[in-house]
Every structure is written in C-alpha cells, then in structure tokens.
Structure 1
Amino acid sequence: MEVKVSSTNDPSYKDALFVRKQVFVKEQNVSEQEEIDAHEDRSAHFVLYDHGKPIGAGRLRPIESGGKIERVCILASHRKQGLGELLMNKMEEEAKQSKYPSVTLYAQVHAEDFYKKLGYTTTSTEPFLDAGIWHVAMQKALN
C-alpha cells in the first residue's frame, strides 16, 4: 500500500477523482458538480494505491483554524481492512508538516465512530445535511 500526495497538476489527481467519483457520485448519488468544487486547486490530494491501483482518496485544504480533511473514501471492495486509518494517518502527517494546529472534518454519520477511534471529537450539536447525506462536524488537535 502506498499513499501519494499530489496537486491538481499531478497525474495522480486523476486517480483521486476516479475513486471519489466511484464512491460519492456512483455509490452515494452525490452530483458531480457538488463533488468537484472550487476548493480543488487549493487542496492537497491523497491517493491510496494497492499494487498501483487507486483504491482510496481524500484531500486536505487550509482553512482559518487549521486544515480541513475532506472527500475521504475507500472503494467498497477494499473497506473494513484498516485502509481508511492508513489514509487518515498520512493526511494528518501532512497537516502537521503544514503546521496546522488542528484539523476539522465533516463525517458522514455512519463513519462518526471510525473518526472517534482516531481521536476526533464531535463538535456539532446535531447532524446536518451536506450533499443530501447526514454529517457531523468533528475536530482533532494536532501536537
């Protein structure tokens, strides 16, 4: 397993989009217009590869309070294998290198416990809709 970090100018960015479209657009019915947004160019993009095949993706972008982790996904065929944690560790490592004091994310409600196991705290008082899917806001301080 290998995680590559790229920008929108790198060839691996297309691999990130491939995974994101499989999970969010095809599987979860998020519109492509919502999935590919105005923050693409300002973000660091992460692609998880299994023997050269893209199987996971995510992005990290700067926000006022630190960094925001977004678009975290693993192909259905590779879930429940600890790969989400591998991807998140790489994204947090990059956030620390960028000197972000904390990272924020909006977790789909079904994934809230996954993020809690990684040290995230739920900061929203109740779930909210984002792209037609229920989410909670979460945050983690980085040391």
Structure 2
Amino acid sequence: MRVWQVTTREELERCFAIRMAVFVDEQHVEAANEIDALDFAPPTRHVLAEVGGHDAGTARLLIDEAGHVHVGRVAVHSWARGTGVGRALMNAMHELALDVAGDDVRVELSAQESAMGFYASLGYGVVNRERYLDEGIWHQDMVLTLRRAEAQ
C-alpha cells in the first residue's frame, strides 16, 4: 500500500473518481454536491492511497483562516475496505494536520454514523450526541486532539 499527498491535477482527478464511486454511486449523494470550491482552495490538502497499483482511497484536509482543521471526504473503494486503507489515510491526515497546523492540533470531522466506530478506534470522540442529515446520511461531529508525539 502507498499513501501520499496529491500534488498534480491528475492525482486530484483520481481522488475525485474514488469519491464519485463511493459517495455518488454507492451512497447516492448528489453528484453536483460532491466536488466543491474547497477542493481547490490553496490550504486544502488531499491524499491518495493505492493498493497493488490500483487507486483504493482518498481523504481531504481543510484548514480555515483561524487554523481549524477538518478531515473530510474520506472514501475507500468497497474492494479495499477492511484492508487498512482507511487507517492509513487517517494517519496521513494526522501527519498533514500536524505539519500545517502545529504540534498541538484539534482535528474535527463530520462522521457518517456507520463509520463512527472506525473513527472512535482512532481516538476520536463525539462532540455531542446531536445527529444531523447531510446529503441524506446521518452524521455526528467527532474530534481528536493530536500532539506531535502522538501522531501515528
């Protein structure tokens, strides 16, 4: 498995293809809502994972003007689930968060309820029990505080 930060438009298009397959084709999110202006904002970072030479997953890191860090658009092809791709993507997100936001950073995410156990296994905690619909999928906000020594 190989995970790296996207640096070219071609790699970004590969990320988008994974997201379209997972979110639009599988989860029926509106295609028009999947790719947004934040994907192209200068502080945004994307990572891409390959397994056996095949694109397997992607994730996006957003940093706002106040330095808040948000992980989102975490998508793993169905054939690659359960293989460690998701964990590898999140580890890459954590390293990027520390690199861009400092040695002590609060990482936020909007977790699909079906993925909350996965995020909890990485140390994320639920912000509050308030659930909400996003693109017809139930979500809850989760958070993790990272310190340089704790990054995996």
Q: Specify the TM-score bucket, using the shorter chain as the normaliser.
A: over 0.9
Given residue 113 of structure 2, which amino acid in structure 1 is its aligned partner?
Answer: V
Note the C-alpha offset of 1:65.
5.1
Given residue 116 of structure 1, which amino acid in structure 2 is its aligned partner?
Answer: A
The answer to whether the Cα contact below 8 Å between 1:20 and 1:71 also exists between their aligned partners in 2 is yes
Partner of residue 44, structure 1: 45
Given residue 51 of structure 1, which amino acid in structure 2 is its aligned partner?
Answer: G
CA deviations on 1:87-124 (whole Å, 9 max, x unpaired) are 10011101001125211000000111110110101103
Say how many residue pairs are matched.
142
TM-score of the pair, normalised by structure 2: 0.88
Given residue 52 of structure 1, which amino acid in structure 2 is its aligned partner?
Answer: G
The DSSP-based 3-state class of the residue aligned with 1:20 is helix
The runs of 5 or more residues in structure 2 that have no matched partner are: 148-152
Partner of residue 77, structure 1: 79
* Distance of 2:125 and 2:100 partners within structure 1: 21
Task: From 111, 123, 126, give the equivalent of 2:127.
Answer: 123
The DSSP-based 3-state class of the residue aligned with 1:126 is strand
* Distance of 1:94 and 1:115 partners within structure 2: 17
Percent of residue pairs bearing the same amino acid type: 34
Higher helix proportion (structure 1 or 2)? 2
Partner of residue 102, structure 1: 106
Note the C-alpha offset of 1:72.
0.2
The DSSP-based 3-state class of the residue aligned with 1:81 is coil
The DSSP-based 3-state class of the residue aligned with 2:60 is strand
Q: What RMSD over aligned residues (CA atoms) do the two structures have, in Å? A: 1.3
The answer to whether the Cα contact below 8 Å between 2:67 and 2:101 also exists between their aligned partners in 1 is no
Given residue 74 of structure 2, which amino acid in structure 1 is its aligned partner?
Answer: V
* Distance of 1:137 and 1:52 partners within structure 2: 33
Task: From 130, 136, 144, give the equivalent of 1:132.
Answer: 136
